[in-house]
Structure formats: C-alpha cells, structure tokens
Amino acid sequence: MDGWWEPEPPVAQSAEREYKFDMATPLYIQNLRRKVSTDRLMVPSVAAVIRDSEGRLLLQRKAGSEGWSLPAGAIEFGESPEDTLRREVFEETGFQVLSASLTGAFGGHDFRYTYPNGDQVEYTVLLYRCDVQISAAGPIDPETVELSYFDVTNAPPLALPYPKSALFG
C-alpha cells in the first residue's frame, strides 16, 4: 500500500502576525491566536437577557463595526458560566446580577463570526435571563459605547442571530 496516502504539505501560518488585544480578550484566546492566526476557534460563552419593567431588552453597542449585542463574553478557564455571566454583565453594563436562569443554548454555523481583523470564531452561547441591580456607575469596559433598551418592534439587528422568542418571550 505504498503511496496510498500522502500527507498534505504544511500550510504556511502567519505566526509572526502582530496581534493587538483588547482587555476583553482572554489570555488563553490570545495565546491560541498567536499559534493559529485567524483560523476559526470554538468559544464557549454566555449572554444576558436583561429586560426593564416594560419588557424592553437591554442591548449594548460596542466600538467598531460589531454593532449591537447582548451583554456577553467568553468563559475563561476556572470560571463557571454563572461567574462569567456576573463578570461580563458588570464589565459591560455596571449592573450587578441578582439572579439568573438558563433559558437556552445556541451555537452552530449561524453563530460563526468574523471580526474586522479576520479572526474567526464559532460561539456556543448559554443564554441567561437576568434580574439586575442597576448602577449609575456605568460600564467599565471601554468597548461599550452605548446601552439602550429596545422593544421587539424596534430592536436593531444583533451580531449573533438569537431567536426573538428567546429575547422577548
């Protein structure tokens, strides 16, 4: 069976690519990016559904071209999903999570995203409905440029395609 399989030649990776990471990029993602460049990474994440007394959904607008999204972020080593949720909500909104209940898990092809720098990810997101204590302090994450509540009729498109029933139901 000599010659029945030939390994593919190695693909040149741009390992020398200079990365500039923001404070929101976990260290392990930074280290992976230095090794795999822009190749797609599977990223376990959490996202928060926070609604006001009128049932409107809280969204954040991030700096850059990402647009509107739920308060969300990657689960870091040693963190439980609930710890990540509390950390991300605080960093991105300044709010304290009082209680949270898991409402769904989303992922797959539709949850792939390519950042403006070419980095590709596929998120698996645990979605939580949260009750929060609102703070006047605001977000500590410099990437959050605006927080606003939206109802189902005027909500902008989100970076990831969560079903409206999971957000407003």
Give the CATH number for residue 90: 3.90.79.10
Look at residue 9 and tell me if it is in a domain: no
Q: Residue 144: inside a domain, yes or no? A: yes
Q: Dihedral sign, CA of 98, 74, 127, 58?
A: positive
Residue 141 has a pLDDT of 85
Q: pLDDT per residue over 102-146, tens digit each?
A: 999 999 999 999 988 899 999 999 999 999 999 877 888 888 999
* Cβ atoms of residues 125 and 160 within 8 Å: yes
Number of folded domains that form the chain: 1
In a domain, 62, yes or no: yes
Which are the contacts of 116, defined by CB distance < 8 A and separation ≥ 6? 64, 65
pTM, rounded to two decimals? 0.84
Q: Is residue 86 part of a domain?
A: yes
pLDDT exceeds cutoff 50 at 10: no
Q: Which two tokens stand for residue 34?
A: 């230095």
Distance separating alpha carbons of residues 124 and 44, to the nearest angstrom: 5
Q: What is the extent of the structural domain holding 121?
A: 40-168
pLDDT in tens, 40-84: 999 999 999 999 999 999 999 988 777 899 999 999 999 999 999
Q: Is residue 3 part of a domain?
A: no
